[in-house]
A = this chain, B = another copy of it.
Amino acid sequence: MHYPEPISKLIESFMKLPGIGPKTAARLAFHVLTMKEDTVLTFSKALVDAKRNLGYCSTCGHITDVDPCHICADKSRDDSMICVVQDTKDVIALEKMRDYNGKYHVLHGAISPMDGIGPEDINVSSLLVRLQDETVQELILATNPTIEGEATAMYISRLVKPSGIRTTRIAHGLPVGGDLEYADEVTLSKALEGRREL
């Protein structure tokens, strides 16, 4: 054994985080020793609080500390649009944009037969319940532009079409600030396919 026990335990804990190997974990653990006791206590409490006090919104599935979440509870938001995303982090990315004022629905995954994830394993049934309410007029499918994301978008779109609700898919193309030269073939082909009149 090289480290005193309290520090080796802390290193082990840090190593459970993604992308943190033994060297980084040791560096972080030694840094903790130089931090103020208050800061360490806050950190320790934040870990437990985040794990214990956060859950999923029973309406949209977004991560939240109150139910319904602040987005579902916000009366100023447009009830007629629901944006369907794969992950809670996607909601946060879209919210940062400050452009979208509708509601969300988090699937917590995408259909992926290779990984044994079928439609029943993602949060689709509660979406269908939400759509029975007649206020929803548009469903924006914002799943990732991957095979699984596309398949999920297709699946939901087919499921929803008969009800007459407008279903749209977010645009795929060149990212703003990106360089045409470095774009991959599929992105370029999507960008060309999705061209619009100026």
Seen from chain A, the residues whose Cβ lies within 8 Å of a Cβ on chain B are 2-7, 9-10, 12-14, 16-19, 24, 26-33, 35, 37, 39-54, 63-66, 69-70, 88-89, 92, 95-96
Contact = CB atoms under 8 A, between A and B. Distances in A.
26 contacts: A2-B96, A4-B54, A4-B64, A5-B65, A6-B49, A6-B54, A6-B65, A7-B54, A7-B63, A9-B42, A10-B46, A13-B46, A16-B35, A16-B43, A18-B27, A18-B28, A29-B50, A30-B88, A32-B50, A33-B51, A37-B51, A40-B48, A40-B51, A43-B47, A44-B45, A44-B47
Nearest to A66: B4
A40 B44 contact: no
Contacts of A44: 44-45, 47-48
Given A7-B63, A33-B51, 14 more contacts: A2-B95, A2-B96, A4-B69, A6-B50, A7-B54, A16-B35, A30-B88, A30-B89, A32-B51, A37-B52, A40-B48, A43-B47, A44-B47, A47-B47
Contacts of A14: 43
B51 A35 contact: yes
Contacts of A51: 32-33, 35, 37, 40
A154 B25 CA distance: 34
Contact of A9 (B28, B49, B63): B49
Nearest to A96: B2
A165 to B, nearest CB: 28
Contacts of A92: 2-3
Most buried by B among A29, A30, A51: A51
Given A18-B28, A27-B18, A50 B37 contact: no
Nearest to A3: B92
Contacts of A37: 51-52
A96 B22 CA distance: 14
